[in-house]
Amino acid sequence: MILGFDVGNSNIVIGVFQDRKLLTQWRIRTDRQKTADEYGMLVKELFDFAGLEMGNVQGVVVSSVVPPLMQELEWMIGKYFGISPLVVEPGIKTGLSIRYDNPREVGADRVVNAVAAYEKYGGSRPLIIVDFGTATTFCVVTAQGEYLGGAIAPGVGISTEALFTRTAKLPRVELVRPKSVIGKNTVMSMQSGIIFGFVGQVEGIVKRMKEEIGQDALVVATGGLAEVISREADCIDIVDPVLTLEGLILIYEKNR
């Protein structure tokens, strides 16, 4: 079995693979205060619940955008799995040509998404990958496997939280599609502004990217709110909820 950790600012997604097949995945809250042992006990409980043996894990790969957590996670992986993990960082093999001004600035999550999308859907036309995480990221990969760059915008979750915390009378709302774009009460009005506002953002950025790289570009979405936004955004062709985890396994295989 191969274990993948996708460490984001809000959540850590953990996937267990066997022969490239995803056996199970878990999503836990990112907590910078947890120690290696606390994470180890949490992972052990998840394995026990799923009926999996930690001793069967033969390799671990980690992608992280939270540097302060890496030391504790690497200690945990070494102690509880007896493995030195492969960390997605500059210098590893990806199969892509990174055309960023400074390739070291590209977030590990963006690289992993690009690797998976190119492997699964690329080769015949350009790709635009949209990841709805703490930040909403847009990445462009050419048909020749060149990572050109993209765009980074505030994510749906943090934007919604800012609306709640910075206003005196607006409540927290569930992120679901309202019955109409014209809200008849405060909750519906906020849902309309959030959902349709982000749909407009996605459609606008994708439209401009296609004008630069070609209208035949395939748009692949992933991340926690990909399903919600994709139902309203006509520009999204494919929703792939496990894109990042599959990218981790692909990178592991390229570097083992």
Helix, strand, or coil here: 174?
A: coil
Of these residues, 19, 101, 109, 216, which one is catalytic? 109
The DSSP output letter for 78 is: H
Unique residue bearing structure tokens 């990572």: 147
The DSSP output letter for 222 is: E
One-letter amino acid of 10: S
The residues, ordered by sequence, that sit 6+ positions from 9 with a Cβ below 8 Å of its Cβ are 30, 65, 66, 133, 134, 135
CB 60 within 8 A of CB 104: no
The DSSP output letter for 231 is: T
Closest CA to 91 of 66, 111, 65: 111
Hey, which bits of the chain come out as E strands?
2-7, 11-18, 21-29, 59-64, 86-87, 97-98, 127-132, 135-141, 146-154, 218-223, 238-239
One-letter amino acid of 25: Q
Helix, strand, or coil here: 112?
A: helix
Reply yes or no on whether 48 is catalytic: no
Residue 224 burial class via C-beta count within 10 angstroms: exposed 0-12, middle 13-18, buried 19 and up: buried
Helix, strand, or coil here: 232?
A: coil
Catalytic residues: 109
